[in-house]
Structure 1
Amino acid sequence: MDGTWNTIVDPYEGGVGSHFYANRKAKDKQDLVEYNFDASEKLKVPGAWNTQRPSLFLHEGPLWYQRYFPHHKRPHTRVFLYFGAANYLTRVWLNGIKLGEHLGNFTPFNFEITDTVTLECRTPASTFQKSMDLVLFKMVRSKTIFGKESLSKESVASPIIRAQPAAVAPAGNKGPSE
């Protein structure tokens, strides 16, 4: 999922309360929706936001990322959304459903989205018939130390793993001590 993402700066941290993660569209001219990811400025992922736009050079608060991505369901397959790293507090929603959050700097993390991607896309503006609307919320607390972000984000599909009986033994060939 490397590439261009829609972004919205959230200087007053109102995005969660305003449900940015729902990526709601105005029904008519009287319907007030105070954000629009489709018309928002873009950033490249991977990459540090403060190096991509001069207006973000000193920004240390929340920034929302949003992107559509295609998904084709395969039988007997589990699907994970994998992040190589995201600095510092990251909250992730898919189709308006919160997947979870991660606190850390340069550590990878993932969320299983097998059940979530079976839902129909809730975003009318999606250009893919079977696409998912991924909304990623990121909050950086210390740009000066952790301003560089260069690891990828990806969706990983893996076959369902079946548990099999296994024996656990200590390393080496020593028997029980007497």
Structure 2
Amino acid sequence: MAHTWQEEIQSNSRLVLFRGDITKVAVDAIVNAANSSLLGGGGVDGAIHRAGGPAILEACQEIRARQGFCPTGEAVITTAGRLPAKYVIHTVGPVWQNGEMDEPEQLANCYQNSLKLAVENSAKTVAFPNISTGVYGYPKDKAAQVAIKTVRKFLAEDSFLEYVVFVVFDQENYDLYQRLLATK
């Protein structure tokens, strides 16, 4: 029998791994691997916009009217519309260019800025997808290392957040995260 991420939380871990659909995870904030336009797209971005409904797009359009595009590594927050979360934090990951254009730092900024925004908005529980590993081409193993290292560092310095869930969609990422989370 598969266990749920809620059972993981009961084991007193603030870092949780769950294989499933991020649009169905009931947390205070889910993170969207957005593009800089904030207008939805493919992959997890499109899935979040479709599942959350028009309220998310409307909120993104308001942000665009105020500040324009969202730069790589930055994050903005909106309503979650029809999703079981309260908020969606949209962050723009880097496009992989062989690690020669500060991609690890930009990706770390995605996680750090998303977590800061969650805390600023009193979100105690946050779920992350794999940022930049789809059409942006970031190697899954390198992205997972950055994600786990950055989130662990943030949690070590923060006592507000109750837990962070890494939501992966495929078995390859699940196995990768499970292996990396087992190491300190």
TM over 0.5: no
Q: TM-score, normalised by structure 1?
A: 0.28
In terms of fraction of residues, the more helix-rich structure is 2
TM-score with structure 2 length normalisation? 0.28
| Higher Cα Rg, which structure | 1
